[in-house]
Amino acid sequence: MGIVELEHVNVDFADKKGKVVHAVHDVNLTVEKGDIYGIVGFSGAGKSTLVRTVNLLQKPTAGNIRVNDTDFVKDGKQVIANKNLQLARRKIGMIFQNFNLLNEISVVDNVSFALKHSGLKEKEIKEKSLNLLDLVDLKEKANFYPAQLSGGQQQRVAIARALANEPDILISDEATSALDPQNTAQILSLLKKLQKDLNLTIILITHEMGAVKKICNKVALMQSGQIIEKGNLRDVVLHPQNDLTKSFVGGSLEVINTLKSLNLDKLNDNEAIYQLVYSMANVTKTIIIDLYRQIGVEASMLYGNVELLDDEPIGTLLVQVKGDKDKQQATVDFLRKEKVAVTRLNEKGDLYE
Ligand SMILES: Nc1ncnc2c1ncn2[C@@H]1O[C@H](COP(=O)(O)OP(=O)(O)OP(=O)(O)O)[C@@H](O)[C@H]1O
């Protein structure tokens, strides 16, 4: 059984005109202890609303929610007493895009704030807060004010604060979205390290597949309130089923941005662009040369990248292939046989229709 179990969860809102918006629709999700579970999707997909049901900051309209072996909601009704919910919430830390720090108090006091109801003495609170700052490598900034820190440092304070009550689960809601690539990478590797050292379970909400690929072991893709695909990261990246997933899993933004920046003319009937994603361990052959030798098509490379998924090198290539309809079909068949996930794109980087 998972540490978080969501069954048939729905969240409906009424919009301004009274029309019902299904922000979350029939979601089933099991997060196992120790997972770093990425929930990815475009803005408005329902990611934030969904994770806010885990600590009941958002009450669901229907469904069952069970966290840490405790029923929170059954058949859409809260079954945990409010007092117990308060205690349970302390075991679910949360970090946000805008850090949510108190600007008028020092960094260490921001962390201590979370321990107000811990029953610890003032001196113990201070000591614990300093230890938490040490954990995120910021002890030397304890007496600074949030505004004196960089975005990445402020997020680390927020992480220290979120860990103050020794949570089992940490929810990260777009925690790196406001950060530059370097700070993003640092925060992601800190989260990964904390997961290991503290045996945390992390739910990572993001619109960037790149973040998921860096640290998650599982991923769920959301679109219009629904989970359209979920599973082990490797399976989803190498064998995406859904069209949206296919366009998400490659270099996603990087691939699309590359194509856009190339400003290619509209492709004619004898040209096609493919995104190829493959495990370098399984695909040892030089695919482009083999395509030429075996299928007789010339593939020119537009983009290439290798990423590590859990230490496994995964390649992404973007190639333009010249050839008639039969040759294009033979190309796709050949690549699929070689265990390459192939997605045809148009010259703008959108899925080919
Ligand atoms: N309190 C609310 N009242 C009415 N509609 C809401 C409310 N909260 C969210 N919604 C709607 O629910 C849908 C899902 O929003 P949500 O914020 O969960 O998406 P998201 O995937 O987290 O996107 P973002 O990253 O932009 O926050 C959106 O259509 C949003 O407008």
- pLDDT attached to residue 256: 74
Whole-angstrom CA distances from 264 to 107, 248, 273 are 50, 21, 11
Q: Is residue 23 in contact with ligand 1, taking CB distance under 6 Å? A: yes
ipTM of the complex: 0.95
Higher pLDDT, 220 or 343: 220
Q: Is residue 42 in contact with ligand 1, taking CB distance under 6 Å? A: no
Pocket test for ligand 1, best of 21, 51, 228 (most atoms within 8 A of CB): 21
Write 282-290 long-range contacts (CB < 8 A, 24+): 282/339, 283/315, 283/338, 283/339, 283/340, 285/338, 287/317, 287/335, 287/338, 287/340, 288/317, 288/319, 290/334, 290/338
- pLDDT attached to residue 253: 62
Cβ pair 37, 171 in contact under 8 A: no
From CA 127, how far away is CA 293, in angstroms rounded? 67
**Coil, helix or strand at residue 351:** strand
- Which residues lie closer than 8 Å to 255 by C-beta, 6 or more apart? 275, 303, 316, 318, 345, 349
Q: Residue range 317-336: average pLDDT?
A: 93
Query: Could you give the angle at which helices 181-198 and 151-162 cross, rounded to 10 degrees?
Result: 20
What are 26-85's pLDDT values in tens digits? 999 999 999 999 999 988 999 999 999 999 999 999 999 999 999 999 999 999 999 999
What's the topology of domain 250-345?
Alpha-Beta Plaits (3.30.70)
In the structure, how many helices (H) and strands (E) does the chain have?
Answer: 12, 15
Residue having the nearest C-alpha atom to atom 16 of ligand 1: 46
Q: Please give the distance of CA 317 from its chain centroid, rounded to a whole number.
A: 22
Label residues 194-208 b or e (16+ Cβ within 10 Å = b): bbeeeebbbbbbbbb
Q: Is residue 18 in contact with ligand 1, taking CB distance under 6 Å? A: no
Asked if pLDDT for residue 251 goes beyond 60, the answer is no
Asked if pLDDT for residue 176 goes beyond 80, the answer is yes
In which residue ranges of the chain is CATH 3.40.50.300 found? 4-239
**Coil, helix or strand at residue 33:** coil
Q: Is residue 162 in contact with ligand 1, taking CB distance under 6 Å? A: no
Burial of 22 (0-12, 13-18, 19+ CB in 10 A): middle
Q: Output the average pLDDT for the chain.
A: 92
Confidence label for 345 from pLDDT (cuts 50, 70 and 90): confident
Whole-model pTM: value is 0.86
Confidence label for 250 from pLDDT (cuts 50, 70 and 90): low
Q: Is residue 21 in contact with ligand 1, taking CB distance under 6 Å? A: yes
Provide DSSP, 172-228: EESTTTTS-HHHHHHHHHHHHHHHHHHT-EEEEEES-HHHHHHH-SEEEEEETTEEE
Confidence label for 351 from pLDDT (cuts 50, 70 and 90): confident
User: Which atom of ligand 1 lies nearest, measured to the CA of 45?
Assistant: 21
Pocket test for ligand 1, best of 22, 24, 43, 49 (most atoms within 8 A of CB): 49
Residue having the nearest C-alpha atom to atom 1 of ligand 1: 13
Cβ pair 16, 191 in contact under 8 A: no
Least confident piece of the model among 153-162, 187-196, 225-234, 342-351 = 342-351
Q: Which token pair is 74?
A: 């059954």
From CA 149, how far away is CA 24, in angstroms rounded? 36
Which class is domain 4-239? alpha beta
- Which residues lie closer than 8 Å to 259 by C-beta, 6 or more apart? 273, 302, 303, 318, 345, 347, 348, 349
Residue having the nearest C-alpha atom to atom 12 of ligand 1: 23
Q: Residue range 125-131: average pLDDT?
A: 97
- pLDDT attached to residue 332: 94
Cβ pair 29, 86 in contact under 8 A: no
Asked if pLDDT for residue 150 goes beyond 70, the answer is yes
Asked if pLDDT for residue 317 goes beyond 80, the answer is yes
Q: Residue range 194-217: average pLDDT?
A: 94
Whole-angstrom CA distances from 218 to 204, 215, 223 are 10, 9, 17
Asked if pLDDT for residue 90 goes beyond 90, the answer is yes
What are 253-312's pLDDT values in tens digits? 677 777 788 888 888 889 999 988 888 887 766 888 888 999 999 999 888 888 888 788
What is the percent of the chain where pLDDT is above 90?
Answer: 70
Q: What is the CA radius of gyration of the chain?
A: 23
Q: Is residue 206 in contact with ligand 1, taking CB distance under 6 Å? A: no
In which residue ranges of the chain is CATH 3.30.70.260 found? 250-345
